[in-house]
Amino acid sequence: MPRAFSELTFTSAVRAHQERMGSAASYAKFIDGGPQQGHLIGPAEQAFIEARDGFYQSTVSETGWPYVQYRGGPAGFLKVLDDRTIGYADFSGNKQYISRGNLDGNDRIALILMDYANQRRLKILGRVDFREGAEAARDLFPDAAEAERAAIIHVAALDWNCPRHITPRFTEAELRPHLNALGRQLAQLQAENDQLKQALARKA
pLDDT of residue 35: 64
**Residue 103: what residue type?**
L
Rounded CA gap, 38 and 157, in Å?
6
pLDDT of residue 134: 83
**Residue 6: what residue type?**
S
pLDDT of residue 31: 77
pLDDT of residue 27: 85
pLDDT of residue 86: 97
pLDDT of residue 189: 92
Structural domain boundaries of the chain? 1-37, 39-160, 172-204
pLDDT of residue 33: 64
pLDDT of residue 20: 95
pLDDT of residue 81: 95
Rounded CA gap, 92 and 113, in Å?
20
Rg (CA), the chain: 24
Rounded CA gap, 71 and 120, in Å?
18
pLDDT one-digit tens code per residue, 35-57 = 667 889 999 999 999 999 999 99
Residues of the chain with confidence (pLDDT) below 50: none
DSSP secondary structure string, 13-63? HHHHHHHHHT-HHHHGGGTSSS---SSS--HHHHHHHHT-SEEEEEEE-TT
Residue range 39-160 in CATH 2.30.110.10:
yes
pLDDT of residue 74: 82
pLDDT of residue 34: 62
pLDDT of residue 132: 86
Nearest one of 164, 155, 71 to 113, comparing CA atoms: 71
